[in-house]
Chains A and B, each alone.
Chain A
Amino acid sequence: MSEVNFELNSARAGCTQFDVDLPAYLEGEDRPGIARHASECGFCAAVLGDLELIRSQSHDFLFDDPPARVWANVRATLVAEGFFRTPKVGWLKRLPSWGQIDWVRQAVPLGATACLALIAAALMVSPGSINQNRISQSYSEEAAVSAAGLPLNESMDVDPSLAQSVSAMEKSYREHEKFLDPAVQASYRKGLQSLDDSIRQCRDSVRKEPTDTVAREYLTSAYEQKASVLFAALEYDGR
């Protein structure tokens, strides 16, 4: 019994030391104990493996710059939200009271940003690793409608995370659309219609011929563009 306790305590001590050394090891410092302990402890080996995977994928992410439009939209949102503005006079008067803040409309750009971040993250991860890492996914009934108006299970020709994000953004857009000026609304509608047409045609092609890499490429591109257009529409508040 005492031997068992000794081994358990020894293992715990090893895990504790592993936890202490891990940050430095991931920063590139020499920590031979990490590899040694990982070879002995299955749990810590799994943790190390996951962290290594995240590190390698985040490394790729840094080199894969998002489109300029994304930065432009993020910047425009920040400008619109007043982050870059320097108040000249009467700044106190510009502060809205609690009652004046339109929480719903403030939340829309933030929600859109979050959706775009999800899309970016989804695109950084290869489909293979998604399949490996996915344990289970449950979609709400509301989100189970794709951007092109089809049930989500019929839009699996693209990364489901991308399709789901676009679908969520489109739902927000439908609620937000009434705030747009008619001319702006017409531009967005025309653009979205054009993208939906291309999504529909490419999806049909992919279904007929799953090896059609060009159609699949165009399909993914159309979804990405649609996300970009929806993001721009959601951040527009007519100010």
Chain B
Amino acid sequence: MLKLSADPVICRKGIVLERLVKWGAVSLLLSPLVIAHAAGLLRQERTFDTTANPRIVLSNLMGQVVIKGWDRQQAHVIYSTTSPLVSVDIDQLPLDGAAEKLHLTTRVLSPQATGVDKTVSYSLDVPMDASVEIRNNEGRVEIEKLQGDALLDSSGGAISVADIAGRVVANSIDGSIEILRSTGKIEATSICGDLRFVGAKGSALRAQTTSGKIVYEGDFMADGEYSFRNYSGNIDLFLPPSASFELNRTLVRGNFVSDIPISSHPRRRYSPSGPHVHTFLGTNVSSTAAVKLSSYSGNVRIHRQN
């Protein structure tokens, strides 16, 4: 607050100055919004009533997508665009009442839009039992705490999934895929991306990459079926010493090292042939889980998990 003088001229100047300061402060506060609007930055927020297990389908071009399960029968959608050259269409089915399906689609409104213009970030809270189908070409995808299935597709963005009870199918070209504490079946496929699995509790896991690495941490489920296959990356399994599994591995040029003793037994199945193919069938403890390891030129190592 300015100190006002008894002189009327000075007093008036003081009042004007005080008003200028006030307006300046207000302008400063509003300036980010004005700049954001001018730059096309827009944050929208919408809430939809849904059934207990809606299907959420999201198709995005670039930007981060985060989806979390919560205990409400509602879908809370927040999205941010960076340019007026893109828009987001949200369609619900049925049109009235609780939504059984929710489609969110990023649309490019102008061919002039460049990569940055096309960026839209999404953050969704959805019912726990929801299933999701996400396609995000470039940008990270994070899914957490869902009971339903998750079908995820990306070109170059990383995919991270945690605490999913349903089936997880994740595909990428160049992005890494990380799946933590999933209790459903898992299928993860990438071309160049690394694959990492921690604490998987599902009955089946299939991991395939061409040049990426594969890392598995945790025990195998009884009667579970696990397949790890790549072309040139390494495969590392971190297992507890008590892990019970039957190992069927096929390596062509890579090496195999195991910190856990595995006793071999006579081959009972089809054996691939080739001049440099090294196949092995063995068990540790007993043969409850079936583990298939295949690599053409990558190394495979089974580590003892402490």
Evaluate contact between B118 and A238: CB separation under 8 angstroms.
yes
Evaluate contact between B89 and A85: CB separation under 8 angstroms.
yes
- Sample of 16 further A-B pairs with CB below 8 A, known A187-B155, A222-B210: A68-B171, A72-B151, A79-B57, A85-B105, A183-B115, A186-B156, A187-B137, A187-B138, A190-B191, A197-B232, A205-B252, A214-B252, A225-B210, A232-B173, A238-B61, A239-B107
A173 at the interface (CB under 8 A from B): no
Query: Which residues from chain B sit less than 8 Å from chain A, CB to CB?
Result: 57, 59, 61-62, 89, 91, 93, 95, 103, 105-108, 114-115, 118, 133, 135, 137-138, 151, 153, 155-156, 169, 171, 173-175, 187, 189, 191-192, 210-211, 231-232, 250, 252, 272-277, 294, 296-297
28 contacts between A and B (CB under 8 A): A72-B133, A72-B135, A72-B153, A72-B171, A76-B135, A79-B57, A80-B59, A85-B105, A86-B91, A86-B93, A88-B91, A184-B156, A187-B138, A187-B175, A190-B173, A191-B210, A194-B192, A195-B210, A198-B210, A198-B231, A202-B296, A211-B274, A214-B252, A217-B272, A222-B210, A225-B191, A236-B137, A239-B106
- Which of B91, B135, B192, B296 is packed against the most chain A CB atoms within 10 Å? B296
Q: Give the shortest distance, in Å, between A222 (CB) and chain B (any CB).
A: 7
A17 at the interface (CB under 8 A from B): no
Q: Give the shortest distance, in Å, between B256 (CB) and chain A (any CB).
A: 15
> Within the assembled complex, what's the spacing in Å between the Cα atoms of A67 and B151?
13
Q: Give the shortest distance, in Å, between B271 (CB) and chain A (any CB).
A: 9
Given contacts A80-B59, A181-B118, A194-B210, contact A215 B252 (CB under 8 A): yes
Contact for B103 among A84, A198, A209, A232, CB less than 8 A: A84
| Residues on the B chain within 8 Å of A181, using CB | 61-62, 114-115, 118, 137-138
Q: Give the shortest distance, in Å, between A228 (CB) and chain B (any CB).
A: 8
Q: Give the shortest distance, in Å, between B191 (CB) and chain A (any CB).
A: 4
Which residue of chain B lies nearest to A67 when distances are taken between CB atoms in the complex?
B189
Evaluate contact between A213 and B273: CB separation under 8 angstroms.
yes
Evaluate contact between B156 and A183: CB separation under 8 angstroms.
yes
Contact for A187 among B57, B108, B173, B297, CB less than 8 A: B173
Contact for A195 among B59, B189, B191, B252, CB less than 8 A: B191
A182 at the interface (CB under 8 A from B): yes
Evaluate contact between A183 and B138: CB separation under 8 angstroms.
yes
| Residues on the B chain within 8 Å of A123, using CB | none
Evaluate contact between B105 and A79: CB separation under 8 angstroms.
yes
Evaluate contact between A198 and B272: CB separation under 8 angstroms.
no
| Residues on the A chain within 8 Å of B61, using CB | 181, 238-239
Query: Which residues from chain A sit less than 8 Å from chain B, CB to CB?
Result: 67-69, 72, 75-76, 79-80, 84-86, 88, 181-184, 186-188, 190-191, 194-195, 197-198, 201-202, 205, 209, 211-215, 217-218, 222, 225, 229, 232, 236, 238-239
> Within the assembled complex, what's the spacing in Å between the Cα atoms of A214 and B187?
22
Evaluate contact between A187 and B210: CB separation under 8 angstroms.
no
Majority SS of interface residues in chain A? helix
> Within the assembled complex, what's the spacing in Å between the Cα atoms of A183 and B118?
12
> Within the assembled complex, what's the spacing in Å between the Cα atoms of A76 and B114?
22
Contact for A212 among B210, B231, B273, B294, CB less than 8 A: B273
Evaluate contact between B211 and A194: CB separation under 8 angstroms.
yes
Evaluate contact between A215 and B296: CB separation under 8 angstroms.
yes
Evaluate contact between A183 and B62: CB separation under 8 angstroms.
yes
Given contacts A68-B169, A194-B210, A214-B296, contact A209 B275 (CB under 8 A): yes
> Within the assembled complex, what's the spacing in Å between the Cα atoms of A75 and B133?
10
Q: Give the shortest distance, in Å, between A140 (CB) and chain B (any CB).
A: 29
> Within the assembled complex, what's the spacing in Å between the Cα atoms of A232 and B156?
12
Which residue of chain A lies nearest to B114 when distances are taken between CB atoms in the complex?
A181
Evaluate contact between B174 and A190: CB separation under 8 angstroms.
yes
Q: Give the shortest distance, in Å, between B111 (CB) and chain A (any CB).
A: 9
Contact for B274 among A184, A187, A194, A213, CB less than 8 A: A213
Evaluate contact between A86 and B95: CB separation under 8 angstroms.
yes
Which residue of chain A lies nearest to B89 when distances are taken between CB atoms in the complex?
A85
Q: Which 9 interchain pairs have the tightest Cβ spacing? A: A187-B156, A212-B274, A191-B191, A191-B173, A187-B174, A187-B155, A194-B211, A181-B115, A198-B231
Which residue of chain A lies nearest to B61 when distances are taken between CB atoms in the complex?
A238
| Residues on the B chain within 8 Å of A215, using CB | 252, 274, 296
| Residues on the A chain within 8 Å of B105, using CB | 79, 85
Q: Give the shortest distance, in Å, between A8 (CB) and chain B (any CB).
A: 54
Which residue of chain B lies nearest to A88 when distances are taken between CB atoms in the complex?
B91
> Within the assembled complex, what's the spacing in Å between the Cα atoms of A181 and B157?
14
